[in-house]
């Protein structure tokens, strides 16, 4: 994060604007809209800017800039094309500890102006840290169309009832639940339809009927976080991530996905990796029950899909026995995401008509895999958590009759910018991995569909680099092209 987003309260605060052209006019409009007392210094002033300042009882100095104009100012904006003057203003403000913005010169700014979506009291600020202001404005345009102007009325309504709700409910969680019900139910719909008196009446009735004495039992959301790319989350997953008070997350949840959880939620790491469990599974189960019984909405965030080698079933059994309500949101499992991002379809009419999802790490950490079922042709085998048992898996497949020439791919950190793919055969892959040291988490795909990697990964590569080694690495991609 290049800048920390902050909102200044400039109401009735003195602000200095240097420069009287059209750029200064745009900045003055924003400042005055925020309630600032604008003082302008310029040798000449745009007629519209002059009128604006005069209407707001501001001051205009038709003079050269001098550092004395900085006295008592809370904020300074330099909107001139005079580079020496801009640098002088910046240095003078820095010496006095006054926030300063030199328009279109990020190096001379202690703060920058974002693109703004104004639904006061709801205000959304969008910044590109000065690197791509046009992109920020395009995003603002999208938000302007997505967020109805009536959100301003909804915010004003909430402001009028804020103290009454605070007095009614003793805990933060109770107040949060109440407001979320208001903002997502019939009261908000009345506001959006312009029926403000009816919305206010309903809100008053809801407040009077509410019981604020007990938090009651909360709820658990068992949510699949997918393989790492935050854009692969479902809409429902994102909504519940924003609602949860407590988040229990595992090792495979990416930092980018975790960042989308509610900022003030309690984050509890319960990750596991081979031979090291930060919190044993029974303790995780019990913690879910305890947090829910305390009245919290608990998000159990799991990498991939919670029901595909994620032990989600065990957790739900515990919740069911304890009488705790829950919701389950599937996630995109690693087999789907990693294969797609690596350009390896799990099924293909010419290569594979079935798929097996197999765990490479069983409960007792010994191999109980039925390799005889895996020797059939025309199927794709996908091994989860099998990197540390790669040699055992390869040996088992070969002993069961799989040809040594069978293609195999290791996909490390699939769907993320760190994705790497190692391609080989059952005969070569162990030696290749010993040299390449592909890192966990990794997925293993076995089958003839791996031969499509070089053709399809060129079109679907999310990472800046993919490391590919093995018998396919010298093959030229066979691509079909079309022309308009």
Asked whether residue 156 is assigned to any structural domain, the reply reads: yes
Annotation-wise, does 122 bind a ligand?
no
Rounded mean pLDDT, 217-246: 90
pLDDT band at 216 (very low <50, low <70, confident <90, very high): low
Last residue of a domain, one of 316, 332, 348: 332
Of the three residues 272, 304, 332, the one that is the final residue of a domain is 332
23 is in an annotated binding site: yes
Residue 341 belongs to domain with CATH number: 3.30.950.10
pLDDT digits (tens, 9 = 90+) for 148-187: 899 999 999 999 999 999 999 888 878 888 998 899 778 9
Q: Give the residue from 290, 315, 332 where a domain finishes.
A: 332
Catalytic, out of 153, 229, 245, 250: 250
Does 256 carry a binding-site annotation?
A: no
Q: Is the dihedral of CA 376, 381, 383, 384 positive or negative?
A: negative
Residue 118, annotated as binding a ligand = no
Q: Can you give the pLDDT at residue 273?
A: 61
Is the domain of 418 the same as that of 432? yes
Q: At 374, is the pLDDT very low, low, confident or very high (cuts 50, 70, 90)?
A: very high
250 is catalytic: yes
Q: Give the separation between CA 386 and CA 266, rounded to whole angstroms.
A: 32
Q: Which residues are CB-contacts of 82 (< 8 A; sequence separation ≥ 6)?
A: none
* Model-wide pTM > 0.85: no
**Domain count of the fold of the chain:** 4
Structure confidence by residue, pLDDT tens digits, 85-110: 999 999 999 999 999 999 999 999 99
DSSP secondary-structure letter at 364? T
Q: Does residue 314 lie within any of the structural domains?
A: yes
In a domain, 57, yes or no: yes
- What is the per-residue pLDDT across 279-338, written as a single tens digit (0 to 9) for each? 889 999 999 999 999 888 899 999 999 999 888 999 999 999 999 999 999 999 999 999
pLDDT by residue (tens digit) across 50-77? 999 999 999 999 999 999 999 999 999 9
CB-CB neighbours of 61 under 10 Å: 16
Please give the helix or strand (H or E) that residue 411 lies within, else none: strand 407-412
In a domain, 347, yes or no: yes
**Same-domain status, 204 and 226:** no
Q: Is 87 annotated as a binding residue?
A: no
Residue 414 labelled as part of a binding site: yes
Together in a domain, 183 and 242: no
**450 and 344 co-located in one domain:** yes
Q: Are residues 225 and 326 in the same domain?
A: yes
Q: Do residues 173 and 231 both lie within one domain?
A: no
Query: Tens of pLDDT along 376-421?
Result: 889 999 999 899 899 999 999 999 999 999 999 999 998 888 899 9
In a domain, 380, yes or no: yes
One domain for residues 202 and 223: no
**pLDDT for 479:** 33
Same domain, 87 and 192: no
Q: What is the pLDDT of residue 404?
A: 95
Q: What is the pLDDT of residue 145?
A: 85
Q: Please say if 131 is a catalytic residue.
A: no
The response to whether 385 counts as a known ligand-binding position is: yes
| 343 shares its domain with 447 | yes
Asked whether 254 and 414 are in contact (CB, 8 A), the reply is: no
Q: Is the pLDDT of residue 480 over 60?
A: no
The answer to the question of residue 316 being in a domain is yes
Same domain, 271 and 341: no
Measured distance CA(41)–CA(27) in Å, rounded: 13
Percent of the chain with pLDDT over 90: 66
Residues 418, 255: contact at Cβ < 8 Å?
no
Side-chain-side CA neighbours of 271 within 13 Å: the count stands at 12
Task: Kindly state whether residue 227 falls inside one of the protein's structural domains.
Answer: yes
Pair 341, 449 in one domain:
yes
Q: Is 308 annotated as ligand-binding?
A: yes
- Is 362 labelled a binding residue? no
End-to-end CA distance of the chain: 42
Cα 353 from Cα 339, distance rounded (Å) = 15
Q: Which of 50, 74, 272, 356 is catalytic?
A: 272
Is residue 409 located within the same domain as residue 326? Answer: no
Residue 341 lies in a domain: yes
CATH number of the domain that residue 260 is part of:
3.40.1010.10
C-alpha distances out from residue 145 to 30, 139, 148, 149, Å: 21, 10, 7, 9
Could you tell me the residue range of the domain that residue 72 belongs to? 14-113
Please state, in angstroms and rounded to a whole number, the distance separating the CA atoms of residues 248 and 298: 8
Dist. CA 390–CA 261, nearest whole Å: 35
Q: How far apart are CA 461 and CA 352, in angstroms?
A: 22
């Amino acid at each position: 994060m290049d800048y920390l987003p902050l909102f200044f309260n400039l109401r009735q605060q003195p602000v200095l604007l240097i420069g009287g052209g059209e750029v200064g006019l745009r900045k003055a409009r924003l400042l005055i809209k925020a309630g600032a007392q604008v003082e302008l210094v310029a040798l000449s002033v745009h007629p519209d800017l002059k009128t604006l300042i005069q209407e707001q009882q501001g001051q205009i100095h038709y003079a050269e800039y001098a550092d004395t104009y900085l006295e008592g100012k809370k904020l300074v904006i330099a909107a001139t094309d005079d580079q020496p003057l801009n640098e002088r203003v910046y240095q003078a403000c820095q010496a006095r500890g006054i926030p300063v913005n030199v328009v279109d010169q990020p190096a001379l700014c202690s703060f920058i102006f974002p693109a703004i979506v104004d639904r006061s009291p709801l205000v959304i600020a969008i910044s590109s840290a000065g690197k791509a202001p046009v992109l920020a404005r395009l995003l603002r345009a999208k938000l302007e169309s997505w967020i109805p102007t009536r959100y301003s009325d909804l915010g004003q309504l909430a402001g009028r009832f804020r103290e009454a709700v605070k007095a009614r409910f003793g805990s933060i969680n109770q107040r949060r639940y109440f407001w979320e019900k208001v903002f997502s139910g019939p009261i908000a719909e009345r506001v959006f339809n312009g029926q403000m008196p009816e919305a206010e009446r309903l809100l008053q009735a809801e407040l009077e009927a509410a019981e604020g004495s007990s938090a009651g039992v909360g709820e658990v959301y068992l949510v699949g976080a997918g393989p790492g790319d935050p854009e692969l989350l479902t809409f429902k997953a994102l909504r519940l991530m924003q609602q949860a008070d407590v988040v229990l997350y595992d090792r495979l949840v990416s930092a980018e996905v975790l960042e989308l959880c509610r900022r003030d939620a309690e984050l509890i790491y319960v990750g596991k990796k081979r031979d090291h469990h930060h919190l044993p599974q029974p303790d995780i189960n019990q913690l879910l029950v305890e947090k829910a019984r305390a009245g919290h909405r608990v998000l159990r965030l799991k990498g991939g899909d919670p029901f595909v080698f994620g032990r989600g079933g065990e957790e739900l059994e515990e919740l069911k026995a304890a009488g705790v309500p829950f919701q389950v949101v599937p996630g995109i499992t690693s087999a789907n995401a990693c294969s797609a991002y690596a350009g390896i379809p799990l099924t293909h009419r010419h290569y594979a008509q079935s798929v097996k999802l197999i765990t490479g790490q069983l409960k007792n950490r010994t191999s109980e895999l039925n390799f005889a079922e895996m020797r059939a042709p025309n199927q794709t085998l996908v091994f989860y958590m099998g990197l540390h048992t790669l040699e055992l898996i390869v040996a088992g497949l070969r002993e069961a009759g799989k040809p040594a020439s069978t293609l195999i791919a290791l996909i490390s950190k699939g769907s993320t910018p760190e994705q790497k793919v190692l391609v080989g055969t059952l005969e070569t892959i162990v030696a290749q991995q010993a040299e390449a040291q592909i890192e966990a988490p990794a997925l293993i795909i076995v089958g003839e569909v791996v031969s499509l990697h070089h053709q399809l990964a060129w079109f679907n590569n999310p990472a800046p680099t993919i490391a590919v080694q093995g018998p396919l690495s010298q093959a030229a991609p066979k691509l079909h092209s079309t022309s308009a």
